[in-house]
Amino acid sequence: MASSATGAVRYGESSLADVLPSALAALGVAGERNVLAIESVACVVVLLVDGLGWELLRAHGDEAPFLSSLAARPLTAGFPTTTAASLTSLGTGVPPGRHGITGYTTRADGLTEPVNWLTWRGAYSGRDLTEEQPPERIQPVATAFERAARAGVSATVVSLPMFRGSGLTRAALRGGEYVASFTAADTATLVADTARNRRGLVYCYSSDLDLIGHVRGTRSDSWLAQLELIDRAVRMLSDRLPPGTRLLITGDHGMLDVPEDAKIDYDNEPILKEGIEILAGEPRARYLHVARGELEAVRARWTEALGNRIALITRDDAVSRGWFGPVVSEQAWGRIGELIALATSNSAVVRRKVESRTSALIGHHGAMTDAEMVVPLLSN
């Protein structure tokens, strides 16, 4: 079973969205809130390990002795607990209600299929939408990298070559000098050189733990071995950094395993399709865009079919609870379903015909359990 749900996302207090504003404040950028109380330094390196959850790290200290030795505090990732939303919250310093990337896939104006914001393509057609849905318009908030540059502070993004100029990079990380890295050792070397020669803010990214968690599961030997490799890579990075550099390590979400018999197949349940115009989101946090006048009927049908495995929350209720932050823009509002189907146990709503690859995955995230929501903030 999944761990219990958190009470609330701690935007403005102790959330992923607070990391870069606090780092900029530590670098002397005026107007940035240092709610995480990072000490004044000449250089801050922020490493985001995709899929590194607080509970997973605490449960596997033997595989990650270096990470476990660092000063640590828990943060909440934000809702939904998914990479596109979390990276944009990290990059902009604001919750999804303001930046507008409110899920893995969401509805967008003028389209009949959801948009996959990781790839910036149609979720079903695979059509490239970067010209039709420009990232700078979809996500208009100035990023931390743009704010740093305006203040005369060096800002660098170190990540894989494939992400250079991508829609999500333009939305979440624009404004920083992009440095392509190819391996963990290459990243450690490039980040250390940047910290030594340019100082300022340096952001870097690791995707491997999330990938192996999805494919093999978080209880697999492969996942544990990957965590060991990441631990060694972070130690290498830390050892190479020049004196006076603050290293911060965090995650964009945690993860839990979903057994095959806990998956509900939307494509094989006609009753679930009735009254639904678009199904978006991801398996553990589905957005139900409902036909006019069908909301209560849809909620009743889903509740009868799924019982307590899925909580059905209206958009109004989720917004009033602050799941998307204290402010929800008109753009963001339209990208949230009238109903949210939120996994409360180890269940998930999959689409084995339409989303065959995602449906076959073992590791999932997106919902609000502690296993998914709470991520670490580690520092040297």
Are residues 106 and 115 in contact, defined by beta-carbon separation less than 8 angstroms? Answer: yes
Residue 37 CB coordination number (10 Å): 8
pLDDT tens-place values along the chain, 380 residues long: 333 344 589 999 999 999 999 999 999 999 999 999 999 999 999 999 999 999 999 999 999 999 999 999 999 999 999 999 999 999 999 999 999 999 999 999 889 999 999 999 999 999 999 999 999 999 999 999 999 999 999 999 999 999 999 999 999 999 999 999 999 999 999 999 999 998 899 999 999 999 999 999 999 999 999 999 999 999 999 999 999 999 999 999 999 999 999 999 999 999 999 999 999 999 999 999 999 999 999 999 999 999 999 999 999 999 999 999 999 999 999 999 999 999 999 999 999 999 999 999 999 999 999 999 999 999 99
Are residues 172 and 178 in contact, defined by beta-carbon separation less than 8 angstroms? Answer: no
The secondary structure element, H or E, covering residue 231 is helix 221-240
The secondary structure element, H or E, covering residue 220 is none
**Pairing outcome for strands 155-159 and 200-206:** parallel
CATH T-level topology, domain 260-364: Gyrase A; domain 2 (3.30.1360)
Dihedral sign (CA 51, 53, 57, 43): positive
CATH 3.40.720.10 fits 16-255+369-379, yes or no: yes
Strand-pair partners of 247: 45
- Specify the pTM: 0.96
Question: CA 182, 186, 191, 197: dihedral to nearest 10 degrees?
Answer: -110
Domain boundaries, the chain: 16-255+369-379, 260-364
Strand-pair partners of 278: 289
- Looking at residue 275, the DSSP 8-state letter turns out to be T
Question: CA 74, 80, 84, 90: dihedral to nearest 10 degrees?
Answer: -40
